[in-house]
Amino acid sequence: MRQAPSPVTKRGQKRRIRMFLIVMFAVIGWTGYTAYMQSGILDEKATQLKQLREEEAAAKQLHAELAYKANRLNDKEYVAELARKQYFMTKPGEILYVIPEN
């Protein structure tokens, strides 16, 4: 035979259920808050990643341009042209005329 649960036991059972629900809501709230905060951090990191990728593309383009210029320095005609333009050098027998810029 079973005895009917006493009111004291029912009160204890309700208290345990209430405490369990409070703990569960606290855990769910903490998890939601953490997820919200991390989503903001992830947005910042995504923005930083996009900026770094743009910088990387610019650096690669600059590297390609500099490699092209360095490769052109192996050409004697190009070096002679640079010497004439930048340092006003001439070949023997040439006359150099400098035109002033406005």
Local structure of 31: helix, strand or coil: helix
Task: Evaluate whether 84 touches 90 at the Cβ level (below 8 Å).
Answer: yes
**The amino acid at 64:** A
Copy the structure tokens of residue 99.
């035109």
Global pTM?
A: 0.52
Helices (H), the chain: 7-72, 76-87
Instruction: Look up residue 2 and give its two tokens.
Output: 């079973």
5-43 per-position pLDDT tens digit = 666 688 889 999 999 999 999 999 999 999 999 999 999
